[in-house]
Amino acid sequence: MATLTDEELFKLIEAARSVQKHSYSPYSDFSVGAAVLTRSGQVYSGTNVETAHYKGICAEASALSAMISAGERKVRAVTIIAQGDMPAPPCGDCRQRLREFSNDETVVYVLNADGSVAKNYTVDELLPDSFGPDHLKSRSTEET
């Protein structure tokens, strides 16, 4: 599991808290913020965006999209904050998205509404025995 400095974790928590304020969630009234720390040290954040046809984008997917749009591909750590009394771990779709850009060292911090860490997970703990890019590579590629 990746070890973050106190400064890195604080920066990641603050990025998720800050972007959560921009949530567009008029239908669920459930605002979520997420931030990803890349291996290069950059932080990208995103919030949930809902639409009238009840399809939207989760905060984690939004943050990953910002990361990808900036040309980054490797996640070191993630923070997720949601409103309410219970911390909100990523949904199944977001777990798969996080798996795509993570490795065994990536840590996901699920925060309480006040920004304190409720629990942290590895991606493998969130999505055990997952299917990923390595399953799609040919045997000859794996052996070289």
- 60 included as an active-site residue: yes
Residue 144 confidence (pLDDT) = 33
In a domain, 131, yes or no: yes
Q: Does residue 140 have a pLDDT over 80? A: no
Q: Could you tell me the residue range of the domain that residue 131 belongs to?
A: 6-143
The structure tokens listed for 22 are 């921009």
Residue 91's pLDDT band, with cuts at 50, 70 and 90, is very high
What is the C-alpha to C-alpha distance for residues 37 and 118, in angstroms, rounded to an integer? 18
State how many domains the chain has.
1
The active-site residue out of 7, 60, 105, 125 is 60
What is the C-alpha to C-alpha distance for residues 13 and 11, in angstroms, rounded to an integer? 6
Averaged pLDDT for residues 19-30 = 97
The maximal CA–CA distance of the chain, rounded, in angstroms, is 51
Q: Does residue 110 have a pLDDT over 50? A: yes
Q: Does residue 141 have a pLDDT over 70? A: no
In a domain, 1, yes or no: no
In a domain, 56, yes or no: yes
CATH of residue 68: 3.40.140.10
In a domain, 115, yes or no: yes
Nearest C-alpha neighbor of 36 from the set 80, 94, 91, 5: 80
In a domain, 111, yes or no: yes
Contacts of 32 (CB under 8 A, 6+ apart): 20, 23, 25, 47, 48, 58, 59, 80, 81, 82, 83, 88
Q: What's the whole-model pTM score?
A: 0.91
Q: What is the mean pLDDT of the chain?
A: 93
pLDDT, tens only, 41-90: 999 999 999 999 988 999 999 999 999 999 999 999 999 999 999 999 99
| Separation of CA 66 from chain center | 11
